[in-house]
């Protein structure tokens, strides 16, 4: 969040790395304007369906940033992350729908979703603390599946989750008496439901980005990365690895919970099939594809992976115009091309599309240092090669 | 060095891995403000003893105390909080973090900021962060890595990585720092500046526990030396005394004493 | 029964993991494709040809095996080999990507519906020691045992097996000793895929149908079996597969009684995962495995 930092003191004292302060602030203003006008532009250029895609991009950005804390920062490969999305979604669904006749307000449910999901994160994280790498991945995958299976089956003997049918008629979010689901107008400008959700999601996404960035550049973030790099050395440097891993699980899960509760009200219904392993993998791909540990990369990854399948819908019309008929249903091709894209990106850009600067340098350095072993060219204290 | 007061006390440590007795009943005591050397042939149990002291390995018997407080049984990060920091025989830096960040991680035990503080970035947090950064720069300066403060640790040349790891250990402001073969792979001039660094540490009041193969370095630097062989303490005392001990000469010093200072070149790792 | 199928698939996971340290997520899809190919063959030559059922099924197996071996080799060569030195997460994501690709290719080729296996195999029940078994079940178990025996012989008694074991200990060292590591890894994938093909046919025969989506859950459970037995350990995978099959059917049968009717048999899938988690948390080395050394 460079904007936030430069907003506090007048940025003149420190010359920004990119151009003059004026150029920077002009860029910031442009960026803010673009974000504010985005739904209008997208609607006009691409159609209403794409405003919905835009909303989903925000939602998945929050989700991916949550997973980024666990996987990208702390290096804990979590394949069951979608479970926390599910917890947030079901919490909202159960407390704001006719299913139990509860209609608790949004401002209460949002923090509650974060809290409960965070609690789940610690609960599921605790048994995995001693596991690493692939084992951790498989256990979290198991937890994710178990939660989904329970959601699917807890309709009997007591109907908690309404089973595979899921929960419908979830109340839309109301902020200060303004329902997100209705059309509102300010003067001549009208705001349909998808626009309202866009602005709400935008605010929360920026908040999540802000929190992520603050955590990353702090004592906590450094300790997470240290654990990712070398857990033993981290503990030998005084890092309480157990607590910090739990904290990573909890923080990541709470982001997921927030996104989940928003998703529930946005869709109006939830069902267990939205929370399968495939969804976990999708979120993981957003994190890895974009550039693990780099917030901008993760945002890019989320944006790409949400829009890509939508854009691939155009394959149908494209085939018709090229070959005169539809050979392969576009819906069949979408995931296939998605899989191909994953494999290709990993092949050619193993550090992700937008890796963090250090990571990029590291990849270069690793290649150069292949033969640099102890006893190699010595470097004396002043950094010059010694005889 | 008047009236040596014990800082670290190691009492009757035994440890077996499978059928191999890595340590049997080892006891040493390290005086505050001294440089204490731990030598012995490969596989003698030196690193195992280090791991026991720093909490990485639980001993089968015996215990360690620092300033009278029991270390054994405490988790690794608590041992650091209590005042012992260490380096590793095969350097273990955080490769993708900058040199500066590596040192700042080393300050974890003596800083406070939690998640909430990090998010809100209150005045106290900002002040703490600025203080840590300044301290880290000072430490990098001291070990001669300041020019590379922003480079990823993994990209530094070997000698600087060793120094950076020492800086990271010092970052917790330990009462005692345990260095596992700090001179391994260093050339003569690097070893000389390492020696200066260790002398500087001792003069600054930090106790140094040292595993080292470079006999000349150990004998010239250490106030006392302990010799391990096959997991047993076979000699302990001031360097001259240890050097003259027939058991030591037989077990270990025999070959290296003939050509002092020469390091076994192709020592396997 | 189910256990022997799990065991066969688990072998593929465990061999690849043993050598590359890679969870080959696409392995379940290889099983699925083996199953699909076999069914296609059986349907094509089985209808109206008048050949006896077992012969037709054998033909299906005979074609599915080389097809899957080719697929396995292709997977290794195209997707995994270029990433041999990349971070583990990169390889894992690639494996997931390949799994998605194969699944959707199969969907495009064979469609979204269940396709059914013609009832060519003996299915009349026999009573053996008070339990009811069908001929198909007997065949499955016998065949599994035979294949496992053959695999153990291959690994412990042949040059190729010795090279495989050497490579799984240390690829670099094995390479220095003159083992063609790339070839060995390729072989490992092909053997695993051949076993997967057999398992695929068995599943088709057992359930009487196949579906483009079936590889995923099956792969997960087989992986569980591999972990249960101690991943990287071939005998462990066999044992783990059999154990998981037993646990699952027993668990599904008794869960109602255990929880007073609160949880029903539709929680069957939970068992695989619960077992997996318990094993990993309390005995990460699995039943037969050695403790996985910390990677420094």
C109 touches chain A (CB under 8 A): no
* pLDDT of A286: 87
Average pLDDT of chain A to the nearest whole number: 78
Q: Round to whole Å and give the CA distance between C291 and C233.
A: 11
User: For residue A15, what pLDDT is reported?
Assistant: 42
Q: Are C220 and A142 in contact (CB under 8 A)?
A: no
> Average pLDDT for residues B245-259, to the nearest whole number?
64
Residue B258 has pLDDT above 50, yes or no: no
Q: Which pLDDT score, from 0 to 100, does residue C85 have? A: 73
Instruction: Specify the range with the lowest mean pLDDT, choosing from A285-289, B144-148, C17-21, C93-97.
Output: C17-21
Chain A residues near residue B125 by CB distance under 8 angstroms:
218
Q: Which of A219, A251, A375 sits opposite B108 (nearest CB)?
A: A219
A233, burial (CB in 10 Å: exposed 0-12, middle 13-18, buried 19+): buried
What is the percentage of chain A residues whose pLDDT exceeds 70? 81
pLDDT at C140: 76
Between CA A292 and CA A295, with CA A293 as vertex, the angle to 5 degrees is 105
User: What's the rounded mean pLDDT across residues B87-91?
Assistant: 90
In this prediction, residue A316 has a pLDDT band, given cuts at 50, 70 and 90, of low
Q: Reduce the DSSP state of residue A335 to 3 states and report it.
A: helix
pLDDT of residue A6: 37
Indicate the residue of C88, C96, C101 with minimum beta-carbon distance to A340: C101
Using only C-alpha atoms, what is the Rg of chain B?
Answer: 19
| Alpha carbon of A261: minimum distance to chain B alpha carbons (Å) | 22
Least confident of A375-384, B69-78, C62-71, C72-81: A375-384
Calculate the CA C64 to chain-centre distance.
14
pLDDT at C142: 79
Q: Is residue A86's pLDDT more than 90?
A: yes
- Least confident range from A173-177, A305-309, B143-147, C162-166: namely A173-177
pLDDT band, very low/low/confident/very high, at C1 (cuts 50, 70, 90): low
Over range C39-47, report the average pLDDT: 78
Contact A380 B168 (CB under 8 A): no
Domain locations in chain C as residue ranges: 2-120+132-213
Question: Fold for domain A2-369?
Answer: ABC transporter involved in vitamin B12 uptake, BtuC (1.10.3470)
Closest residue in A to C270 (Cα) is A146
Quick one: pLDDT band at residue A290, thresholds 50, 70, 90? confident
Q: Using one digit for the tens of pLDDT, what is the confidence trace for A46-67?
A: 777 788 888 899 999 999 999 9
**Phi, psi dihedral angles at C160 (to 5 degrees):** -60, -45
Q: Does residue C58 register a pLDDT over 60?
A: yes
Which residues of chain C are within 8 Å of residue A133 when distances are taken between CB atoms?
Answer: 88, 295
Residue C258 confidence (pLDDT): 60
Cis peptide before A157 (omega within 30 of 0): yes
Give the whole-angstrom CA distance, residue A264 versus residue A96: 10
CA–CA dist A72, A76 (Å, integer): 8
**DSSP conformation class of B72:** T
pLDDT at A244 (0 to 100): 93
| pLDDT for position C241 | 85
| pLDDT at residue C51, rounded to an integer | 66
Asked whether the predicted pLDDT for residue A5 surpasses 50, the reply is no
The answer to whether the Cβ–Cβ distance between A378 and B80 falls below 8 Å is no
- Enter the pTM of the model: 0.82
User: Which pLDDT belongs to residue A148?
Assistant: 87
Interface contact A154, partner C, CB < 8 A: no
Interatomic CA distance for residues B95 and B86, integer angstroms? 17
What is the rounded CA–CA span in Å between residue C73 and residue C24? 13
Three-state secondary structure readout of chain C: CHHHHHHHHHHHHHHHHHHHCCCCCCHHHHHHHHHHHHHHHHHHHHCCCCCCHHHHHHHHHHHHHHHHHHHHHHHHHHHHHHHCCCCHHHHHHHHHHHHHHHHHHHHHHHCCCCEECCCCCCCCEEEECCEEEEHHHHHHHHHHHHHHHHHHHHHHHCHHHHHHHHHHHCHHHHHHCCCCHHHHHHHHHHHHHHHHHHHHHHHHHHHCEECCCHHHHHHHHHHHHHHHHCCCCHHHHHHHHHHHHHHHHHHHHHHHHHCCCCCCHHHHHHHHHHHHHHHHHHCCCCCCCCCCCCCC
Query: In angstroms, how far is CA A135 from the centroid of its own chain?
Result: 23
Averaged pLDDT, A172-188: 73
Identify the sign of the CA torsion B120, B123, B127, B130. positive
Asked if C23 lies within 8 A of A137 by C-beta distance, the reply is yes
**Structural contact between residues B105 and A234, judged by C-beta atoms closer than 8 angstroms:** yes
Using the predicted structure, report yes or no on whether residue A382 has a pLDDT greater than 50.
no
Q: Are strands B6-17 and B61-66 parallel, antiparallel or unpaired?
A: antiparallel
More confident: C87 or B154: B154
Would the CB atoms of A346 and C100 count as touching at under 8 Å? Answer: no
Query: Mean of the pLDDT values across residues B244-250?
Result: 82
The reported pLDDT for the residue numbered A387 is: 32
Give the mean model confidence (pLDDT) for residues A259-286.
87
User: Are residues A142 and C107, on separate chains, in Cβ contact within 8 Å?
Assistant: no
Q: Which of B116-125, B192-201, C283-292 has the lowest mean pLDDT?
A: C283-292
Q: CB of A350 within 8 A of CB of C87?
A: yes
Query: Which residues of chain A does C266 touch, with a Cβ-Cβ cutoff of 8 Å?
Result: 152-153
The SS3 assignment for A373 reads coil
Residues linked to residue A32 through DSSP beta bridges, in sequence order: none
Question: By the CB < 8 Å criterion, does A129 face chain C?
Answer: no
Q: Say whether pLDDT at C123 is over 70.
A: no
Mean pLDDT computed over every residue of chain B? 85
Does residue A81 belong to the interface with chain C, where contact is any CB pair within 8 Å?
no
Q: What is the pLDDT of residue B177?
A: 93
Q: Where residue B268 falls among pLDDT bands split at 50, 70, 90? A: very low
- Whether the CB-CB separation of A75 and A229 falls below 8 Å is answered with yes
Assign domain B1-83+174-269 to its CATH superfamily. P-loop containing nucleotide triphosphate hydrolases (3.40.50.300)
Contact residues, chain B, for A233 at CB < 8 Å = 88, 92-94
Q: How far is B92 from chain A (nearest CA, A)?
A: 6
How confident is residue B244, by pLDDT bands cut at 50, 70 and 90? confident
Instruction: Report the alpha-carbon distance of residue C229 to residue C11 in Å, rounded.
Output: 10
Tell me the mean pLDDT in the region C269-282.
75
Average pLDDT of the segment spanning C234-262:
73
**C142-169 burial string, b = 16+ CB within 10 Å, else e?**
ebbeebbeebeeebeeeebbebbbbbbe
- The string over A146-175, giving b where at least 16 C-beta atoms fall within 10 Å of a residue's C-beta and e elsewhere, is bbbbbbbbbeeeeebbbbeebbeebbbbbe
Q: How far apart are the first and last CA of chain B?
A: 37
Longest dimension (CA), chain C: 62
Q: Which of A118-122, A200-204, B153-157, C112-116 is predicted least confidently?
A: C112-116
Chain A and chain B share a number of CB contacts under 8 A equal to 162
Minimum mean pLDDT range among A92-96, B261-265, C144-148: B261-265
Distance from CA of A159 to the nearest CA of C (A): 12
DSSP states along A98-135: TTTTEE--HHHHHHHHHHHHHHHHHHHHGGGTT--HHH
Residues 6+ apart with CB under 8 A from A201: A55, A58, A59, A62, A262
Could you state, in order of their start, the residue ranges of all structural domains in chain B?
1-83+174-269, 94-173
A211, A232, A375 ranked by CB distance to B119: nearest: A211
Taking all residues of chain C, what is their mean pLDDT, rounded to a whole number? 77
pLDDT exceeds cutoff 80 at A8 = no
The share of chain C scoring above pLDDT 90, in percent, equals: 0
Average pLDDT of the residues in A69-77: 89
A13: Cβ–Cβ under 8 A, 6 or more apart, which residues?
Answer: none
pLDDT tens-digit profile of C147-170? 888 888 888 788 888 888 777 777
> b/e for C49-74, b at 16 or more Cβ within 10 A?
eeeeeeebbebbbebbbebbbebbee
Total residue count of chain A as it appears in this document = 387
Section C175-204 average pLDDT: 83
Residue B229 near residue B39 (C-beta atoms within 8 A): no
What's the average model confidence in pLDDT over A317-322? 71
Sorting pLDDT into bands at 50, 70 and 90, what band is A371? Answer: very low
CB C57 within 8 A of CB C219: no
Q: Do A133 and C88 touch (CB under 8 A)?
A: yes
User: CB A317: neighbour CB atoms within 10 A?
Assistant: 11
pLDDT at B260: 42
Domain definitions of chain A by residue range? 2-369
Angle C82-C88-C90 from CA coordinates, rounded to 5° = 60
At residue A16, the pLDDT reads 42
Q: Is the pLDDT of residue A211 over 50?
A: yes
Chains that touch C (3 or more CB pairs under 8 A): A
* The pLDDT value given to residue B254: 54
Calculate mean pLDDT across residues B235-258. 75
């Amino acid at each position: 969040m460079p904007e936030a930092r430069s907003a506090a003191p007048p940025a003149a004292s420190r010359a920004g790395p990119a151009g003059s302060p004026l150029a920077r602030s002009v860029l910031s203003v442009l960026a803010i304007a673009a974000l504010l006008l985005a739904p209008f532009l997208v609607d006009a250029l691409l159609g209403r369906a794409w405003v919905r895609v835009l909303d989903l991009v925000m939602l998945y950005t929050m989700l991916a940033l949550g997973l980024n804390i666990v996987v990208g920062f702390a290096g804990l490969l979590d394949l069951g992350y979608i479970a926390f999305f599910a917890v947030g979604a079901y919490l909202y669904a159960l407390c704001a729908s006719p299913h139990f006749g509860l209609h608790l307000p949004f401002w209460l449910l949002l923090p509650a979703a974060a809290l409960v999901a965070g609690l789940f994160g610690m609960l599921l994280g605790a048994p995995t603390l001693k596991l690493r790498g692939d084992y951790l991945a498989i256990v979290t995958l198991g937890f994710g599946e178990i939660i989904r299976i329970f959601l699917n089956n807890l309709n009997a003997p007591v109907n908690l989750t309404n089973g595979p049918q899921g929960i419908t008629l979830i109340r839309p979010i109301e902020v200060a008496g303004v329902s997100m689901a209705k059309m509102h107008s300010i003067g001549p400008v009208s705001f349909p439901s998808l626009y309202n959700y866009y602005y709400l999601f935008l605010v929360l996404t920026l908040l999540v980005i802000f929190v992520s960035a603050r955590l990353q550049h702090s004592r906590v973030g450094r300790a997470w990365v240290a654990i990712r790099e070398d857990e033993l050395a981290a503990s030998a440097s005084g890092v309480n690895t157990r607590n910090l891993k739990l904290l990573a699980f909890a923080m990541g899960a709470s982001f997921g919970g927030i996104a989940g509760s928003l998703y529930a009200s946005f869709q109006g219904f939830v069902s267990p099939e939205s929370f399968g392993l495939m969804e976990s993998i999708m979120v993981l791909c957003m994190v890895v594809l974009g550039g693990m540990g780099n917030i901008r990369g993760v945002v890019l990854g989320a944006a790409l992976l949400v829009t890509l399948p939508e854009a691939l819908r155009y394959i149908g019309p494209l085939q018709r115009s090229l070959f005169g008929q539809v050979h392969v249903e576009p819906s069949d091709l979408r995931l296939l091309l998605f899989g191909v894209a994953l494999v290709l990106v990993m092949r050619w850009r193993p550090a992700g599309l937008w890796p963090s600067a250090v990571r990029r340098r590291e990849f270069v350095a690793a290649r150069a240092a292949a033969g640099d072993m102890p006893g190699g060219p010595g470097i004396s204290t002043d950094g010059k090669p010694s005889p | 060095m008047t009236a040596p007061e014990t800082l670290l006390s190691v009492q009757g440590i035994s440890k077996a891995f499978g059928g191999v007795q890595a340590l049997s009943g080892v006891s040493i005591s390290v005086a505050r403000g001294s440089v204490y050397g731990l030598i012995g042939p490969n596989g003698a149990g030196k690193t195992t003893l280090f791991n026991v002291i720093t909490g990485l390995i639980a001993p089968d018997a015996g215990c360690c105390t620092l300033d009278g407080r029991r270390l054994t049984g405490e988790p690794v990060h608590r041992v650091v909080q209590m005042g012992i920091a260490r380096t590793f025989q095969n350097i273990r830096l955080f490769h993708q973090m900058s040199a500066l960040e590596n040192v700042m991680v080393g300050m974890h035990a003596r800083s406070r900021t939690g998640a909430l503080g990090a998010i809100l970035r209150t005045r106290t947090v900002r002040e703490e962060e600025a203080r840590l950064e300044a301290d880290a720069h000072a430490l990098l300066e001291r070990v001669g890595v300041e020019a590379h403060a922003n480079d990823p640790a993994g990209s530094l040349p070997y000698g600087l990585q060793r120094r950076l790891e020492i800086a990271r250990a010092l970052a917790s402001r330990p009462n005692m720092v345990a260095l596992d073969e700090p001179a391994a792979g260093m050339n003569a001039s690097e070893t000389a500046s390492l020696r200066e660094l260790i002398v500087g540490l001792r003069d600054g009041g930090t106790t140094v526990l040292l595993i080292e193969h470079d006999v000349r370095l150990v004998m010239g630097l250490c106030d006392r030396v302990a010799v391990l062989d096959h997991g047993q303490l076979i000699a302990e005392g001031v360097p001259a005394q240890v050097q003259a001990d027939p058991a030591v000469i037989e077990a270990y010093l025999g070959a290296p004493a003939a050509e002092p200072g020469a390091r076994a070149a192709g020592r396997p790792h | 029964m189910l256990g022997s199928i799990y065991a066969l698939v688990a072998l593929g996971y465990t061999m690849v993991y043993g050598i590359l340290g890679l969870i080959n997520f696409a392995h379940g899809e290889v099983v699925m494709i083996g199953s699909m190919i076999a069914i296609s063959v059986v349907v094509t030559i089985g209808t109206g040809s008048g050949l006896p059922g077992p012969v037709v099924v054998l033909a299906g197996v005979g074609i599915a095996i080389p097809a899957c071996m080719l697929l396995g080799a292709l997977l290794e060569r195209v997707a995994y080999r270029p990433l041999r030195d990349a971070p583990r997460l990169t390889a894992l994501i690639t494996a997931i990507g390949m799994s998605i690709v194969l699944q959707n290719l199969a969907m495009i080729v064979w469609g979204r519906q269940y396709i059914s296996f013609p009832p060519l195999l003996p299915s009349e029940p026999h009573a053996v020691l008070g339990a009811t078994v069908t001929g198909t079940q007997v065949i499955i178990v016998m065949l599994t045992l035979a294949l496992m025996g053959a695999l153990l012989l291959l690994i412990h008694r042949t040059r190729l097996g010795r090279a495989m074991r050497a490579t799984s200990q240390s690829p670099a060292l094995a390479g220095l000793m003159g083992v063609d590591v790339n070839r060995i890894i390729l072989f490992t994938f092909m053997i695993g895929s051949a076993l997967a093909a057999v398992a695929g046919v068995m599943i088709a025969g057992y359930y009487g149908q196949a579906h483009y989506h079936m590889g995923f859950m099956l792969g997960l459970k087989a992986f569980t079996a591999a972990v249960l037995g101690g991943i990287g350990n071939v005998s462990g995978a066999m044992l783990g597969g059999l154990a998981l099959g037993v646990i699952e059917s027993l668990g599904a049968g008794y869960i109602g009684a255990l929880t007073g009717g609160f949880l029903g048999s539709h929680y069957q899938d939970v068992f695989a995962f619960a077992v997996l988690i318990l094993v990993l948390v309390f005995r990460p080395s699995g039943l037969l495995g050695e403790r996985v050394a910390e990677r420094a």
